[in-house]
């Protein structure tokens, strides 16, 4: 690892499989989403950005690395 790489913060970002609270659709979203993520089926909000880590609105089914 070079010097400059040590200086870059690396948040432990992950992908999450989230179940839509409205229609039950499961989809994979980024845990540090920087824009609002909508359900692919009913367009309910599944995640909103909140200062780094996204605020997850649905039920987290699985965490994927």
CA-to-CA separations, 56 to 28, 49, 64, in angstroms, rounded: 12, 9, 15
Establish if 46 lies at the interface with Zn ion (CB under 5 A).
no
Alpha-carbon distance of 16 to 39, in angstroms, equals 13
Establish if 42 lies at the interface with Zn ion (CB under 5 A).
yes
Q: Is the CB of 19 or the CB of 53 nearer to Zn ion? A: 19
Alpha-carbon distance of 40 to 6, in angstroms, equals 37
Among 18, 33, 39, 47, binds Zn ion (CB under 5 A): 39
Binding positions for Zn ion, rule: CB under 5 A: 20, 22-23, 25, 39, 41-42, 44
């Amino acid at each position: 690892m070079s010097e400059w790489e040590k200086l870059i913060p690396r948040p432990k970002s992950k992908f999450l499989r989230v179940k839509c609270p409205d229609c039950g659709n499961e989809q994979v979203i980024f845990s540090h989403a920087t824009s609002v993520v909508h359900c692919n089926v009913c367009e309910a909000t599944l995640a909103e950005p909140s200062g780094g880590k996204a605020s997850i609105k649905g039920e987290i089914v699985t965490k994927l690395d």
